[in-house]
Amino acid sequence: MKLSAGSDAAPRLVKAGSVTVKIYTGHIGAYRTFTVYWRAAGRSHRKTFSHEKEAQTFAREQAEKLAAGQVQSPSISSTEVSTFREAERRLGDTAPIHVAAGEYASAVRRLGDAATLNQAVEFFLNNSLRSELQRTVSEVVEEFVAMKQSDGLSERYVEDVTWRLRRFAKDFQVNIEHVTTRDLDAWLRKLTTGLVTRDNFRKHIVTLFNYARRRGYLPRDRETEARWLEKPKIKSKPIEIFSPQELSELIAAAEGQVKLAIIIGAFTGIRSAEMLRLKWENFNWGEDVIDIGVDQTKTASRRLLPILPALVEWLQSQVKPYGPVLNYSLPVCLAEAFATTAMKATKARGEFLPPLRWKQNGLRHSYASYRLAMKNDAAQVSLEMGNSPQKLFKNYRKVVTRSQAVAWFNVMPAVASNIVPIKFAVS
Band of residue 397 on the pLDDT scale cut at 50, 70, 90: confident
DSSP letter (8 states) at residue 74: P
- For the stretch 72-83, pLDDT in tens is 555 667 788 788
pLDDT of residue 419: 47
DSSP letter (8 states) at residue 39: E
pLDDT of residue 129: 66
pLDDT of residue 204: 96
Mean pLDDT value of segment 224-252: 90
Mean pLDDT value of segment 198-217: 94
Neighbour count for residue 186 (Cβ, 10 Å) = 10
Q: Please, how many CA atoms are within 13 Å of residue 340, restricted to the half-sphere of its CB?
A: 11
- For the stretch 26-67, pLDDT in tens is 888 778 899 999 887 767 888 999 889 999 999 999 888 887
Neighbour count for residue 290 (Cβ, 10 Å) = 21
Whole-model pTM: value is 0.52
Domains of the chain: 12-67 (3.30.160), 78-127 (no CATH), 137-228 (1.10.150.130), 244-409 (1.10.443.10)
Check: CB of residue 408 under 8 Å from CB of residue 398: no
Band of residue 392 on the pLDDT scale cut at 50, 70, 90: confident
Mean pLDDT value of segment 256-275: 93
Mean pLDDT value of segment 364-377: 92
Q: Please, how many CA atoms are within 13 Å of residue 275, restricted to the half-sphere of its CB?
A: 29
Q: What is the mean pLDDT of the chain?
A: 85
pLDDT of residue 280: 94
